[in-house]
Amino acid sequence: MIRTLAIALAASAALGGCALTDGQTVFPGGEARAGLEAGHAAAVADPRRLPAEVARDPLRKPRKPADMLALMRLAPGQAIADIRPEEGYFTRLFAPAVGPGGRVYAFVPNQTAQRENAFADTLASTYPNVSRVTGALETMTFDRPLDVVFMGEEYHDFTIPRFGVDVARMNAAVFAALKPGGLYVILDHQAADGAGISVAGTLHRIEAAELRRQVEAAGFVFDGESDAVRVPGDDHSLSVFDESIRGRTDRFVYRFRKPG
């Protein structure tokens, strides 16, 4: 479902710039901040991005994808795992952002590997710093400690019983994979207050408060959020695939930190 994010970013342009609710400084000041922002802008402009994805970028607010990178504090030399990247909208942003000294792990769950390994292999053949990793979400491991784990519009799927994922163990595996101070960033579709995970398999939404409860239960500390893809007009009653709202659903982006 990551492939729909660019449409949502464009639809949310009327919300204005990406506001961060953050207990810490996103970037250092002065030249260091300018350098990171320039790197994020260069990642958005990278010519290896697919034309179809670039065309769906929010043209009226061209910083939107860069603001997502800013929320992750993504910097050269870092290691990030993109969980179930599908066609790779975000992987193609992450790879140039972390640069040749960094690493992006395109993690494909066993449940979707038959279809999606090919996507990840294409990403790895395009970007020398991208590696495909296929395995169980509950036991995911990587060959170096991670700075960031990202999950875009996938967490709700993993709570659906037919997926067969032990979400508590999955979050524990993310915790173990991260460096102390590492970030777990999750983007997903908002469900109605009190819905919990009850509509994950029907509306493909999850209540943000329930997701936060589950992630914090694994030991993470809530560390900030973005309103880049919030859509106040969505009443959370329709499936995200309903044509009347598809690409214009209310989404939340939460950042969690591993203590240390």
Q: What is the pLDDT of residues 13-71, one digit of tens each?
A: 332 333 344 434 344 455 556 667 777 877 776 768 766 666 656 533 434 778 888 88
Structure tokens at 151: 């999950």
More confident residue, 245 or 15: 245
**Separation of alpha carbons 234 and 196, rounded Å:** 17
Residue spans per domain, the chain: 2-257
DSSP for 240-255, written as a single string: TT-TTTTT---EEEEE
Q: pLDDT class for 227, splitting at 50, 70, 90? A: confident
pLDDT number for residue 55:
60
pLDDT number for residue 54:
64
Contact in structure between 2 and 48 (CB atoms under 8 Å): no
pLDDT at 206 over 80: yes
pLDDT at 181 over 60: yes
pLDDT at 6 over 60: no
Across the chain, what does the average pLDDT equal?
Answer: 85
Q: What is the pLDDT of residues 65-93, one digit of tens each?
A: 788 888 899 999 999 999 999 999 899 99
More confident residue, 255 or 1: 255
Contact in structure between 185 and 253 (CB atoms under 8 Å): yes
**H or E stretch at 155:** helix 155-158
- Architecture per CATH, domain 2-257, reads as 3-Layer(aba) Sandwich (3.40)
Q: Sort 169 into a burial class: Cβ within 10 Å, 0-12 / 13-18 / 19+.
A: middle
How many residues does this entry show for the chain? 260
What is the 3-class SS of 113-140, one letter each residue? HHHHHHHHHHHHHHCCCEEEEEECHHHC
Structure tokens at 165: 């994922």
Residues in CB range of 247: below 8 A, 6 or more apart: 4, 7, 8, 10, 11
CA distances in angstroms from 141 to 15, 123, 145, 148, 160, listed in the order given: 38, 19, 9, 13, 23
**Separation of alpha carbons 240 and 198, rounded Å:** 15
Q: Sort 1 into a burial class: Cβ within 10 Å, 0-12 / 13-18 / 19+.
A: middle
**What value does the mean pLDDT take over residues 144-159?**
97
